[in-house]
Structure 1
Amino acid sequence: MGATAKPAGTANGNPYAQLVWAMGKTGILGYGGGPSVIPLIRYEAVTKYGWMDDEEFGEILAIANALPGPIATKMAAYLGYRQKGALGAVVSVLAHIVPSAVAMVALLAFVDYLSNSAVVQGMIVAVMPVISVMLGVMAYEFAKRAYKGLGRWMVIVFCAVSFGLFQLLSVHPAIVIVLFLAYGAVHYKLVDRWKNKSASPRKEGGTP
């Protein structure tokens, strides 16, 4: 959380090797898939390799959430494309999904046994708090950036609106994301217009 990301593209080493290693780890260690993998991808992309900063990662995450398909796969594709174009995207996605797919096939015969194993159940229960903390830390960092960009009251209002849409009205997350993206596209224009309207009466009244 305090680490400063290096400028994108400045990490040493072979970009393809970095993509394979980074996305392979996220695919194997990303318990639960989906949102639980995002903190791992963020660490690799922002903190370790410096492919982008937190602000860009947050923007890409928001856009990826609004698009159909698994979020982790979309993030892997974008990171690969950003580093090495279309071939990088293919390498990144394959590195993310192939190891876990191979593991699934290899362990298919043991699925029934593992699903009823007390040891496996204990491992699942034990890892859940870790995933919760990882998601919480990432949410806190995004909230800090939102506070700097929008201000305290706007963040509170947006959080309340999001909670109402998700929990009370059961609106699909993609719809909520699209609505907030649409607002974000015109946010600063609305703020500037409001400031200009507030300043106009003072100018007309001769207030210095």
Structure 2
Amino acid sequence: MLALYGHRFSSYTWKALIPLYANGTEFTFRDVDPGSDDGPANMDFVRAAHPAAKFPVLVDGDRRIIEATAIVEYLAVHHPGNAPLIPDDPGEAVTARMMDRVFDNYVMGSAQRVVNAYIANAENPDHEQVELGRAGLLHAYAWLDGWLAENALPPHVSLVTCAAAPSLFYGDWVARIPADCPRVAALRSELLALPAVARCVDDARPYRSYFPPGAPDRD
């Protein structure tokens, strides 16, 4: 059986959980939270499996797959289900991978910049890093709203869904999606309504105090 090592509050763990939930794939979740019974041992496994000691890590027999995007791609090939995670059309697959990078690098990446500033100094985070992160988010939202005006995402759980849902969820906590980006706001709402995503949101609720800038009282 598959095993996924990760944390339920982690955006990139969500990225790996969403396709597993959407396709009803059987797996065991190995929690790395230090408060869980096997958390320290599971984190030791992650340190050995990943060159930067990062999760999620997927284990399938004697195979270890690291990096969330690679995990989604692996599941699409080796454990396919009703949700076609990668489009069959090569051109559409290129677009899916492009948008995966946009959400990871420019939405989640910008949000993470702010989070990292608060991790470094919760009482007095680096103002420049916070402002750069928030500015990056607003720029990404504007670009995405324009892209969505001319393009449609797949009407099912895909690689793009797996990247977009956690990045927009946490990104909006760091910098609210502005009123002049209605398509991005609508996409976030649509994604959070998906059963696989809603399950991730609910399972992460006990850990909201972990969010360094402070979790808002919503969602």
TM-score (norm 1): 0.29
Larger Cα Rg: Structure 1 or Structure 2?
1
**Higher share in helix:** 1
TM-score (norm 2): 0.28
